[in-house]
Structure formats: structure tokens, C-alpha cells
Structure 1
Amino acid sequence: MKTLTALFAATALALSANVALAKDVQPDEVVKLVQSKTIQSLDELKAKALAKHPGATIKDSELEDVYGRYVYKVELRDAQNVEWDVDMDAKTGEILKDAQDK
């Protein structure tokens, strides 16, 4: 039983550590990152996401610091009412994920 309890505790710690390493970037910090050219403008990144799915609309977006890498996450809905998740490297604009939301 002690081993099982220890396993659950280790799993809980690992999961909470993983969550702590991905955090939302606050709006005032976003402005500084764009001005310093650390990341591309959010308008440029949104345009790249929309280019992947012409005719789609943006439902939501957020900038996260994931293990020290800025990732811009965009949720889209296309003309067929299908939802898509597009994640991009906010510095380079590289598409990291383009998947149908399930």
C-alpha cells in the first residue's frame, strides 16, 4: 500500500510541475515582447493561423510560456463548423500543431 501511495504522490507532483511550467503571458508582458521583437505581433500570428483555414473565424487565442518558449495558441471554427487548434512558435511563426479539436 505504501508503494501505491508513493506512486500516486509522485504522479500528482509530476502533473502539477508540468502545469506550472506552462503559464499564460499577461497582456502588459505581451506588449513588451512584441516591442522587443522577442515575438511576432499577435495580428501577424493570427493571420498565419487563419491562412491555414481560409474562411475560418477565431474563437479564442492565448500566448503561453511553455518551458521558456512562447507558444501562441489559436482556436478556430471553419466554414463547415469544424473547430481547429493551431499552435505556433510566437517568435518564428512556425506551426507546431494544426489539429481538429475533438
Structure 2
Amino acid sequence: MKTLTALFTAAALSVAATAALADVPAHEISALEKAGTVQPLQKLAETAKAKHPGSTITDSELENEYGRYILKVELRDAQNVEWDVDLDAKTGEILKNAQDK
């Protein structure tokens, strides 16, 4: 019985962790922008690109991490170096600016 309880507990924790870290579906982004919950993603993407002039965005996603919206942007600069830039989607603050390894 203890094993069964432990399995249910582990499963519940796994589901809770997944719910706390979730990609925001594309159809919800416009409503978040209109409500002022997040800044326009185009503006945030330009902020990320400004950190690496001449770069291009190769991927991006908006995530809800424990109630905080984070825009994760992957860039490739003019020297073909890849960068990961994470921004607080509400404030525009750069939370991470690291070379992708």
C-alpha cells in the first residue's frame, strides 16, 4: 500500500510541475497582449535582437513559469553563434543572455 501511495504522490507532483511550466498556446497570446499581461511579442523580440546586432531569430516561445510569462528567444548572430535570450514578457527585463552550447 505504501508503494501505491508513493506512486500516486509522484504522479501528482509530476502533473503539477508540468502545469506550472507550460508553453502558452498561440491563440492565447493576443488576449494576453491586449490585456497588458505581456508586452507585444514583436517588441520583446526586437529587444532580444538588439543584444546581438545583425542576428536573426531562429525560434521563440512564450512560457508561463509559475505565473510569470517568459519569452524565450533563440538567435543566430552574424558570426553564426547561437544565443539564448530570455525576457520577462511583462516588463521586458532580460533574464538570460547566454551563448547556446
Using the size of structure 1 for normalisation, the TM-score is: 0.83
- Equivalent positions of 1:1-102 (< 5 A) are 17-102=16-101
Q: Which amino acid aligns with 1:45?
A: L
Instruction: Spell out structure 1 runs of 4+ moving beyond 4 A.
Output: 12-17
Q: Which amino acid aligns with 1:54?
A: P
In structure 2, the CA distance between the partners of 1:14 and 1:101, relative to structure 1 (3 Å rule), is farther
Gaps of 5+ in 1: 1-5
| Secondary structure in 2 matching 1:91 | coil
**Distance (whole Å) between structure 2 residues aligned to residue 21 and residue 33 of structure 1:** 17
Q: Which moved more, 1:15-24 or 1:63-72?
A: 15-24
| Secondary structure in 1 matching 2:33 | helix
**Distance (whole Å) between structure 1 residues aligned to residue 31 and residue 55 of structure 2:** 29
Gaps of 5+ in 2: 1-5
**Distance (whole Å) between structure 1 residues aligned to residue 71 and residue 51 of structure 2:** 14
Aligned residues with identical type, % of pairs: 62
Q: Which amino acid aligns with 1:35?
A: K
1:97 Cα offset (Å)? 0.3
1:40 Cα offset (Å)? 0.4
**Distance (whole Å) between structure 2 residues aligned to residue 30 and residue 17 of structure 1:** 22
